[in-house]
Amino acid sequence: MHDDIENGLKGAHAIGLTKLDSDNRTIFSYNKRIYRTSMQRGKPKTRLICNVLAELISIDNKGTEDCPAHEYLFKVQANHYDHTEKRYFKPKNLTSPRTFTTKLMGMVPFGKFCGNQDDFSQFFISEVDRLHTKQHSR
């Protein structure tokens, strides 16, 4: 499996969710899972950070202009679950890996974000960036 991931980094299997930060970490999706890779001592180290593929589709204001209430629509897919689920996440569901996992488990059995807070922050920022880029390229 590790060889498949490294080949995915080099080829077309690594799709979406790419963001390089100052620590040379990249988040990418492969085989309906989310991984983080970083360079350590000149070699890539890859770690599973989410066992499902969660993609931000839109950010919608469910409130008014004076009192905004943004909700985040995610599409979630998993290898172990045949259906694609789409649900809105409230901001309180996006504060930590634990609150995100609680919402994921309600969508997909055994869906879990296993990364740390930095991984979660980087994942969310990369998803917002990807969505913003996608909307502006139309």
pLDDT at 129 over 80: yes
Q: Which phi and psi (to 5°) does residue 99 adopt?
A: -70, -35
- Report pLDDT for 50: 96
In this predicted structure, the answer to whether residue 103 has a pLDDT above a threshold of 70 is yes
Both ends of the chain: CA-CA distance in Å?
36
Give the pLDDT mean for 59-70.
Answer: 93
- Domain annotation for the chain: domains and CATH numbers: 2-50 (no CATH), 53-136 (3.30.1520)
pLDDT in tens, 70-79: 999 999 999 8
Average pLDDT over residues 49-76: 94
| Mean pLDDT value of segment 47-76 | 94
The overall pTM is greater than 0.95:
no
10-43: pLDDT as tens digits: 433 344 445 555 567 888 899 999 999 988 888 8
Interatomic CA distance for residues 123 and 133, integer angstroms: 15
Residue 67 scores a pLDDT above 80: yes
- 59 close to 72: Cβ distance less than 8 angstroms: yes
Neighbours of 36 (CB within 10 A): 21
What per-residue string of b and e applies to 91-130 under the rule 16 or more CB within 10 Å gives b?
eebbeebebbbebbeebbeebbbebeeebbebbbebbeeb
